[in-house]
Structure 1
Amino acid sequence: MTDPTDGPGILLVPRAAQPRVRWKNDGGWTTELAVRPEGAGEFDWRVSIAEVDADCRFSHFPGIDRSILVLAGPGFDLRVDGEPLAQLRLGDPAHPFSGDRGAACDLVGGPTRDFNVMTRRGRVRHTLTRTRAATLEHRPGLTWLVYVEGGDTLVAGVRATAGDCVILEHVPEDTFPVTLAGDLVLVRLEYL
């Protein structure tokens, strides 16, 4: 299956344009960076930043593969049904888990902000990493979301500053490779 979106695109999503919405279970708030397809009842992929202010249950997302990465704050212990306890702390790698399972978190010292990626199993596969430098590969069916955590960076000719994200979808061959530097969170999304 290939990526169903049409046309080439390098899209800047400035911090001010990112909507803040309630969690699906109404337990907290998230800032939505991007979702595809937009406006559909069922997404192929969704990227957001959640505000976790208290111990809570996570929303249930059947058929969804998830990854989470602590952006700010002391972090939390993540309890996913049927899995060992995962201790998520600032600076740790992303933690993958299934949206099919019940999940809850216990804060370990105060409010925490985390970066979330969700992809529909069997349609899209993802990876989530934090980095200071990267070169992005290009090939059909591959989308990148670059979130600027701090400073600023130039992404395929588009300047992005702290809190902004840039989405690269169906970018022409001659645009790549794209080399990045800064405090970045990278999401690699591959349609199957």
Structure 2
Amino acid sequence: MLIWKAMTTLQVLKYSDYKVMPWKNGLGMTAQIDIFPKNTEFPPNSSDESFLWRVSSASVQNNNPFSQFPGCDRYLAVYQGQGLRLNEKDLRPTQILQFRGEDPIQGDLIHGPVLDIGVIYRREKVHATMSFVQASPGQALELTLTHKTHYIFCARGKFRCQEMKVSAKETLIINKACDLQVIAEGNEDLQLYLIQLSLR
């Protein structure tokens, strides 16, 4: 069951829909899930004021410094692998770290390659939150989405929402505030990362 506070649009993005590209510093690769406004070039140059946010999932294969994004804040989580050590602070699976885009960050692998999920957004123009949600097979989750744009990234398992079915590494996008029910399907635990964004 899905209860709407307003008319909404749901869209499922499969991994094949993501745009794979190099990091800003050229030291790795990332899969861009979505960017706003649409068709904005990334990474933005210093004079580009159009870029507001970008959601992506990166593959980290080696110890490397992070790209820097002045004027932006970031959320980051590891969803596959043992984790990252960021400036001596461990980021383990299911944990979420928020940091400033201009801060120098050294990312070292704790034990082998990882996949991460994150969002970069302009702090003066965008309000953002990121949270982790888990459910057992067959469990229904009631989510209250209060912002304007929402990305539900399926890190593990699969779920059903209305007629939509979403599997691991896929993303459900909702563009209005609403109360939402998702149902965990299959035989493994469901792990989701919920990113909510709105203009200030």
TM score, norm. by length of structure 1: 0.83
Residue matched to 1:185: 193
Residue 32 of structure 1 and its aligned partner are, at CA, apart by 1.0
Distance 1:120 1:155, change over 3 A: farther
Which residue matches 1:33? 33
> 1:137, CA displacement in angstroms?
2.6
The Cα of 1:108 is off from its aligned counterpart by 1.6
- Matching residue's letter, 1:116: G
What is the letter of the counterpart of residue 90 of structure 2? Q
- Does the residue aligned with 1:16 lie in a helix, a strand or coil? helix
The DSSP-based 3-state class of the residue aligned with 1:132 is strand
Structure 2 counterpart of 1:70: 78
For residue 136 of structure 1, what is the amino acid of its counterpart? L
CA deviations on 1:121-175 (whole Å, 9 max, x unpaired) are: 1211212222125433345x5211011122221235322122210110136xxxx
User: Counterpart of 1:3?
Assistant: none
Q: Distance in 1 between matches of 2:28 and 2:75?
A: 18
Find the aligned partners of 2:174 and 2:108 in 1 and give their Cα distance. Answer: 35
Residue 143 of structure 2 is aligned to residue 136 of structure 1: yes
Moved more, 64-73 or 141-150: 141-150
- The SS at the match of 2:70 is coil
**2:157, 2:191 within 8 Å by CA — same for their partners in 1?**
yes
Map of 1:99 onto structure 2: 101
CA contact (8 A) 2:145 2:196 kept: no
TM-score by length of 2: 0.80
Alignment identity in percent?
27
The answer to whether the 8 A contact 1:156-1:178 is kept is: no
Q: What is the aligned partner in structure 1 of residue 159 from structure 2?
A: 153
Q: How many residues of Structure 1 are paired with residues of Structure 2 in the alignment?
A: 175
After TM superposition, what 4+ stretches of structure 1 lie above 6 angstroms from structure 2? none
